[in-house]
Amino acid sequence: MNTQYTNYQKFYIPLFFFPLSFIFGIVVAEVFVLLFLLFFFFNLSKANFFFEKKIIILFLFSLYIALNAMFQITDDLKYSSFLHFRYVLFSLAIFLLYEGLFYKNFNKKMLNIFLFILSFLLFDSFFQFIFGVNLLGYKISSNRISSFFGDELILGSYLVRLLPIIMWYIYNLKINPREKKFSYTFFFTAYFCVIYLSGERTSLALFLILFFFTLIFINDLRIIFLRSFVIFTAFILCTIFFDFGKSDIKHRIFEKTYKQIFPEAKKKHNKDENELDNIKPSKILIFSQAHQGHYILAKKLFLDNLVFGTGPKGFRHYCRIIRYDSKIGMCSTHPHNIIAQILSELGLVGIIFFLTFLVFLIKRFFDVAFVKIKTHHHYAFLIASLGIFINLFPFLPSGNFFNNWISIIIYFNIGLYLVSNKKLMLR
């Protein structure tokens, strides 16, 4: 294997700490993506994976997105979608970089620095929860803590999507977390608690899915995660039975969720509950009145554009045209569910790509999961697969599939997946 890529040492620190760049804003993350793309083009002649089936499918999918955007979207929304292929190149750049770095003497101290910086984010989150303001003066917004993200309420989503990357680092650096079980238990307990305190219900559900699969398939982290989860559960019970902190997290996670799913349980309908006259009342809603409204509109757009959909970001494009005043369902920037978005915006062609990828991912996961004797390479592969899976999980509300930071995280995980898959293939 040729791992002597041009000046890869210069990307050593930026690559490792890239997942933390989102704390400083999406612009910083995009600059890092550009740097990694430059690295990729400098080493293009040494790349020998373009004819692998997985890579071909990714490029075909990005080509379909680009052509769909060019022919169907008539405003500025088309440009970012037209350049969607850059994320595929980004994942290949991650593959090249990590393939080279992890076959060298990669410094394990980098993980400790990484976790230390992340611990500061967790500390700041607890500080904001207790005092109502974080260390930079950002106040709690909409009864939800956001730490250094400020008005962007993505703290929980960021943490749950980052968690598989942390786990992947641990296994690729061949670290045995049981040797420092107290430190790791303390860290993951705080991590789980902040996901809960963020008030992001989808993030909490995705965390529980990731936790469940970790308990079953990831041996070395099983005991640590289980101990952390016990303390985490005790913390939740304390927030339920004792009134402390500056955000009423219990109300949002439990009471509001129940009332949104079962609207008849509410004695009164308040304006802030997003009630819609054009949505037929029912005893049970799909997550909430607003979510159900998005899905109804997405269904209409899909049925009107079965094969190709309305185009990438077409849901938002349609809502712009009608000035966000839909007679059917409810308008928004996106349908808030990845299946609804792909069906409505990319049609049957798009959903075939998505389901093909998902079926391949799940099949390959279980093929590796049931190998009798596993090494750290096997566990790293399983974790990378879980990292992709929770980002593409189809049965919960989700962010915009074409959103910059979500796309970057998804394709970063794909890059890690390609690295781990290559190592398994060489064994």
pLDDT tens-digit readout, 343-355 = 999 999 999 999 9
- Quick one: what percent of the chain has pLDDT higher than 90? 63
In this model, does residue 306 exceed pLDDT 90?
A: yes
Residue-level pLDDT at 102: 54
pLDDT tens-digit readout, 131-154 = 999 999 999 988 889 999 998 999
Structure tokens at 207: 């965390």
Residue 275 — very low, low, confident or very high, per pLDDT cuts 50/70/90?
very low
Q: Which amino acid is at 369?
A: A
Q: How far apart, in whole angstroms, are the C-alpha atoms of residue 183 and residue 232?
A: 15
- Looking up tokens 């904001």 gives 128
Q: How far apart, in whole angstroms, are the C-alpha atoms of residue 189 and residue 309?
A: 43
The residues, any chain, with a CB within 8 Å of residue 66's CB and separated by 6 or more, are: 81, 82, 83, 84, 85
pLDDT tens-digit readout, 22-63 = 999 899 999 999 988 988 888 777 667 666 788 889 999 999
Q: Which amino acid is at 211?
A: F
Q: How far apart, in whole angstroms, are the C-alpha atoms of residue 3 and residue 44?
A: 13
Structure tokens at 142: 């909409």
Contact yes or no for 387/165 (Cβ under 8 A): yes
Provide the whole-model pTM. 0.91
Contact yes or no for 341/394 (Cβ under 8 A): no
Residue-level pLDDT at 110: 82
